[in-house]
Amino acid sequence: MDNSSSPSTTKNMSKSRKCQTVELSALEKQLINLLQHGLPVCERPFAQIAEEISSTEQAVIECLTKLRSEKVLTRFGPMFDAASLGGAFTLAALAVPEADFDFVTEQVNSFEQIAHNYRRDHDFNMWFVIATESAEEIEKVAQAIERKTGLKVLNVPKLKEFYVSLYLPV
Amino acid sequence: MSTITQEQEKLTDQERQYILLTQNGLPIIQEPYHAIAEQMNISVEQVLSLTKSMQERGVIRRIAAVPNHYKLGYQFNGMTVWDIDDEQAEKFGDAVGRLPFVSHCYLRPRFLPEWNYNLFAMVHGKTEESIAKYRGQIKELLKEVLVTRNHDSSQDIITKSNDMLTSTAILKKTGLRLKK
């Protein structure tokens, strides 16, 4: 497992919150709502979608291309089960003393096996995903983080994942 | 420390090739599966049946559009965590996962006394009030299976049965990819 996209460094959410929302056209809204549920698996999926919303295949293709290039859609296509791609994952957390927060962030982020890392408002204030090639490597990374930071890692791998049906209507 | 990993689906070489070709997205053109077929040197019928087979086995979860939550105005998220009865955890976890505002829903191990929550559900909303409301809806759903604990009765410390951790900063975010 490699983390190919470039890591974004600390983003302050309260700052970025305000200006990110985009204005959407009626067709854009329709497509975003419809395609969150899924794209039909057939030779001309965009023609089938166009028919459902009384549009044209060309208009649908242009609209989706724009939404993707503007990154309103972060992904479009098959979503693979991460575990099926090989490798092991876990969610882990640290309770970091406030004074050490920047230092610990740097230490934790320096591991290429750390995929996501979020600051959260709790005693356990740093939550990150460790993604590795093997289960043994997860243990090694967790132990290395403990050595580097002197903090105990709370390691909470998933025991069971539930089916979700997230829908963000616009 | 224990690590539980998912049982891995065995992938054929053809499936690995398919994943490498599509993990950054499906081409947005009239005949996207024809384009994949051409690159894989197989027929479009084979690509479509490969797609359906991977969907049925759960290797492909969905073929869909994933919007950027923030750009659609869903700027608030909360990791809600719950201490629920183990016996009932699967049944109630399943119900929580079906709520439309939940994007991830997992059972995870407890590490007592510092971490007593076994169910995690990530919620998304457009306002702080909306995510608080969603947390309330989950609480209502789970009210009969929430665990009451009191680890230290001498000091009268009562462990909470649920919490919501909101993110205050993204410290790192990278994509997960199959290696070539």
- The beta-carbon neighbor of B3 closest among A11, A105, A139 is A139
Same domain, B32 and B87: no
Same domain, A147 and A96: yes
Euclidean distance between CA atoms A153 and A140, whole angstroms: 12
- The beta-carbon neighbor of A160 closest among B22, B90, B173 is B90
- Across the interface, do A10 and B1 touch by the CB < 8 Å criterion? no
Same domain, B98 and B161: yes
Residue A19 within any structural domain of the chain: no
- Greatest alpha-carbon pair distance for chain A in Å reads 60
Q: With an 8 Å Cβ cutoff, is A92 touching chain B? A: no
CB atoms within 10 A of CB A148: 15
CB of B64 within 8 A of CB of A39? yes
Query: Domain range holding B19?
Result: 13-56
CA distance A99 to chain B (A): 16
Residues in chain A within 8 Å Cβ distance of B174: 3-7, 115-116
Residue A44 within any structural domain of the chain: yes
Residue B173 within any structural domain of the chain: no
Query: Domain range holding A91?
Result: 82-155
Same domain, A109 and A97: yes
pLDDT digits over A87-125, tens only? 889 999 999 999 999 999 999 999 999 989 999 999 999
Q: What is the DSSP letter of A53?
A: T
Same domain, A96 and A144: yes
Share of chain B above pLDDT 90, in %: 71
Residues in chain B within 8 Å Cβ distance of A135: 3, 5
pLDDT of residue B178: 67
Single residue among A79, A95, A123 that ends a domain in this structure: A79
pLDDT digits over A52-90, tens only? 999 999 999 999 999 999 999 988 999 988 777 778 899
Same domain, A87 and A35: no
Same domain, B101 and B48: no
DSSP string, A89-137: EEEEEE---GGGHHHHHHHHHTSTTEEEEEEESSSS-EEEEEEESSHHH
Interface ipTM above 0.85:
no
CB of B44 within 8 A of CB of A43? yes
Which CATH number fits the domain that encloses residue B88? 3.30.70.920
Question: Within B23-174, where are the H helices?
Answer: 32-40, 44-56, 89-97, 128-142
How many domains are there within chain B? 2
